[in-house]
């Protein structure tokens, strides 16, 4: 069959995958968004459906007032002895921890802390032993992978943390994962940082502690030399054998816009590439160690079809699965029903690194049409294209006294300006945003009339401008009111269009 990358679109970075029973499970980092750690299920590795999150209670993850792109960093999911484990770092509290569940569709445990620093923690289970590794800097200032053994019931360290590898000398040695394949231990990691120099490297050895011999042709995967190619920043990967014996790497990457001065605003997404093990027991990725947008593969039958959801509405999404909040929300400000959403403003605005009244879906592709009928009863109610508190485009109805205005406000760093506004006769209107690679366009439909509020560039919401580790989220929000009345959101439709 032929499949297209990315395999999961939109801001779903740092994929980790495991198999259990006859299915596959994938988790991603979530930073300051709540619930934490989106969890997906698949039957065939190509089609993924979100089934929940691992961190669904405030007691599991501290997110209060944390900075954007702080919080939950890269995660690792493993299945051992009938139990699922997910380990991650809360980078804002600098704590590595894990949670577990015996029911993948149910709740996960309270967090169990592990006293080893660094980010990108990961498990390797063998017999009764649990190896726990993460990145760090050794006493000589070198990038390192540290490993210890823990008691999986309590998280207690059973051995001191030891350096097991220094990588190949690239900057930001991250995402260590250990696998035992045909009696050899393979340690795979990323280097180069999560931007344009990103890459996957690996080494192998005879024991979980090494010594590890690096693959001679590292990096085994990178797109850093593919100037002008859309897919960039590939790295941070997971190696997995499917139920039929074939090997794959899931990894992150992003889709850049522009050839020379590039930008990307959809965040880091999930990509899939086939892996071949050779007679000498070293492996390679794809045909030339790069990630391609279209992959033709014989060992997935043609009967497997890659099916993409192109429309997201209040009816075909679930509030607690598909949607997300900024940090821990004040649920009293939300009434979310099957066909309708009501939001009440709080004193917190979208400009604050806090939890404004906001509920969002990730923007998954460039060409999208978003529309929603909004009735403003108090303050400002609208749609925001949200990168972080300093970079967001807000499109809203605003009520002051008896006057109702439709506004488009651009927030780009320190520049915050209402760029266009128009007085309308009613407090109900449909707001419509259309986007392509380069621009978002904004239209208000009120009383049967279409009012054009112009456009804004995608570039200023990109990672290159805003920084951070996330991507654009399409948020419905309310702010700046008296915090008394709810505003109504109806007929939300987000449709992805062919280019």
Q: Is 12 in the site for ligand 6LW (CB under 6 A)?
A: no
Exposed / middle / buried, residue 255 (Cβ in 10 Å: 0-12, 13-18, 19+): buried
Q: Which of 196, 286, 186, 289 is nearest to 239 (CA)?
A: 186
Identity of the residue, 223 or 349, whose beta carbon is nearer to ligand 6LW in the bound complex:
223
Q: Is 116 in the site for ligand 6LW (CB under 6 A)?
A: no
Lay out the site mask for ligand 6LW across 175-214 (x = CB under 6 A, - = otherwise): x--------------x---x--------------------
CB of 270 to ligand 6LW, least distance (A): 12
Phi and psi at residue 400, to the nearest 5°: -130, 115
Identity of the residue, 192 or 289, whose beta carbon is nearer to ligand 6LW in the bound complex:
192
Q: Is 222 in the site for ligand 6LW (CB under 6 A)?
A: no
The one among 37, 66, 99, 119 contacting ligand 6LW by CB under 6 A: 119
Q: Is 14 in the site for ligand 6LW (CB under 6 A)?
A: yes
Name the β-bridge partners of 273. 249
Q: What is the rounded (10 degree) CA torsion for 340, 68, 47, 98?
A: -110
The one among 63, 74, 410, 478 contacting ligand 6LW by CB under 6 A: 74
List strands edge to edge, sheet with 247-255.
231-241, 247-255, 269-277, 283-285
Q: How many other β-carbons are positioned within 10 Å of the β-carbon of residue 315?
A: 11
Identity of the residue, 152 or 199, whose beta carbon is nearer to ligand 6LW in the bound complex:
199
3-state class (DSSP) for residue 91: coil
Identity of the residue, 17 or 453, whose beta carbon is nearer to ligand 6LW in the bound complex:
17
3-state class (DSSP) for residue 460: helix
Unique residue bearing structure tokens 């089609």: 47
CB of 189 to ligand 6LW, least distance (A): 9
Identity of the residue, 192 or 379, whose beta carbon is nearer to ligand 6LW in the bound complex:
192
Cα–Cα distance for residue pair 67/354, rounded to 1 Å: 8
Q: Is 236 in the site for ligand 6LW (CB under 6 A)?
A: yes
Cα–Cα distance for residue pair 97/348, rounded to 1 Å: 30
Chain residue at closest Cβ approach to ligand 6LW: 194
The one among 44, 120, 269, 378 contacting ligand 6LW by CB under 6 A: 120
Q: Which of 151, 143, 18, 7 is nearest to 75 (CA)?
A: 18
Identity of the residue, 273 or 456, whose beta carbon is nearer to ligand 6LW in the bound complex:
273
CB of 61 to ligand 6LW, least distance (A): 15
Listing DSSP states for 393-419 in one string gives: EEEEEEEETTEEEEEEEEEETTEEEEE
Q: Do 164 and 210 contact (CB within 8 A), yes or no?
A: yes
Cα–Cα distance for residue pair 359/282, rounded to 1 Å: 46
Angle at 362 between CA 462 and CA 79, to 5 degrees: 115
Where in 421-480 is the site for ligand 6LW (CB under 6 A)? 469
Q: Is 66 in the site for ligand 6LW (CB under 6 A)?
A: no
Q: Is 73 in the site for ligand 6LW (CB under 6 A)?
A: yes
And the tokens for 245?
A: 């014996």
CB of 14 to ligand 6LW, least distance (A): 5
CB of 77 to ligand 6LW, least distance (A): 15
Options 44, 149, 174, 389, the catalytic residue: 174
Q: Is 191 a catalytic residue?
A: no
Q: Is 29 in the site for ligand 6LW (CB under 6 A)?
A: yes
Identity of the residue, 12 or 314, whose beta carbon is nearer to ligand 6LW in the bound complex:
12
And the tokens for 314?
A: 């209040």
Q: Is 223 in the site for ligand 6LW (CB under 6 A)?
A: no
Identity of the residue, 97 or 312, whose beta carbon is nearer to ligand 6LW in the bound complex:
97
Q: Is 488 a catalytic residue?
A: no
Listing DSSP states for 106-165 in one string gives: SPPPPPEEES--SS--EEEEETTEEEEEEEEE-TTS-EEEEEEEE-TTT--BSS--EEEE
Q: How many other β-carbons are positioned within 10 Å of the β-carbon of residue 228?
A: 10
Lay out the site mask for ligand 6LW across 241-260 (x = CB under 6 A, - = otherwise): -----------x--------
CB of 337 to ligand 6LW, least distance (A): 34
* Site for ligand 6LW, rule CB under 6 A: 13-14, 29, 73-74, 119-120, 174-175, 190, 194, 235-236, 252, 469
Catalytic residues: 14, 174
């Amino acid at each position: 069959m032929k499949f297209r990358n990315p395999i999961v679109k939109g801001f779903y970075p740092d994929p980790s995958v495991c198999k259990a029973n006859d299915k596959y499970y994938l988790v991603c980092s979530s930073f300051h968004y709540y619930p934490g750690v989106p969890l997906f299920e698949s039957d065939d590795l190509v089609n993924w459906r979100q089934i929940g999150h691992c961190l669904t209670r405030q007691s599991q993850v501290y997110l209060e007032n944390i900075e954007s792109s702080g919080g939950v960093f890269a995660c690792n999911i493993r299945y051992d002895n009938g139990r699922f484990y997910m380990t991650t770092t809360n980078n804002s509290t600098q704590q590595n921890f894990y949670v577990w569940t015996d029911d993948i569709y149910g709740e996960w445990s309270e967090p169990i802390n592990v006293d080893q620093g660094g980010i990108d923690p990961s498990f390797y289970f063998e017999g009764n032993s649990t190896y726990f590794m993460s990145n760090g800097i050794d006493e000589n200032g070198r990038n390192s992978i540290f490993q210890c053994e823990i008691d999986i019931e309590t998280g207690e360290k059973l051995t001191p943390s030891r350096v097991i590898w220094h990588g190949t000398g690239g900057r930001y040695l991250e995402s260590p994962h250990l696998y035992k394949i045909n009696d050899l231990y393979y340690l795979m990691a990323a280097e180069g940082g999560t931007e344009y120099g990103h890459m996957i490297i690996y080494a192998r050895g005879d024991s979980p502690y090494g010594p590890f011999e690096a693959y001679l042709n590292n990096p085994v995967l990178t797109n850093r030399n593919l100037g002008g190619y859309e897919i960039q920043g590939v790295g941070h990967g997971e190696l997995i054998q499917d139920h039929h014996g074939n090997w794959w790497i899931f990894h992150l990457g992003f889709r850049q816009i522009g050839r020379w001065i590039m930008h990307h605003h959809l965040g880091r997404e999930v990509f899939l590439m086939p892996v071949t093990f050779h007679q000498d027991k070293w492996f390679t990725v794809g045909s030339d160690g790069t990630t391609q947008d279209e992959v033709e593969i014989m060992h997935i039958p043609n009967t497997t079809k890659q099916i993409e959801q192109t429309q997201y509405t209040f009816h075909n999404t679930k509030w607690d699965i598909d949607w997300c909040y900024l940090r821990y929300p004040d649920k009293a400000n939300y009434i979310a029903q099957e066909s309708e959403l009501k939001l009440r403003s709080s004193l917190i605005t979208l400009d604050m690194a806090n939890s404004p009244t906001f509920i969002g879906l990730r923007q998954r592709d460039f060409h999208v049409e978003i529309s929603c009928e909004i009735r403003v009863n108090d303050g400002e109610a609208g749609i925001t294209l949200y990168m972080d508190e300093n970079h967001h485009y807000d499109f809203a109805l605003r009520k002051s006294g008896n006057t109702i205005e439709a506004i488009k406000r651009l927030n780009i760093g320190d520049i915050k300006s209402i760029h266009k506004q128009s007085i309308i006769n009613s407090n109900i209107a449909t707001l419509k945003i259309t986007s392509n690679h380069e621009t978002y366009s904004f239209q208000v439909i009120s009383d049967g009339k279409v009012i054009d509020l112009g456009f804004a560039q995608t570039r200023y919401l990109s990672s290159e401008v805003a920084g951070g580790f996330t991507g654009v989220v399409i948020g419905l929000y309310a702010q700046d009111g008296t915090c008394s009345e709810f505003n109504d959101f109806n007929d939300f439709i987000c449709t992805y269009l062919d280019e």
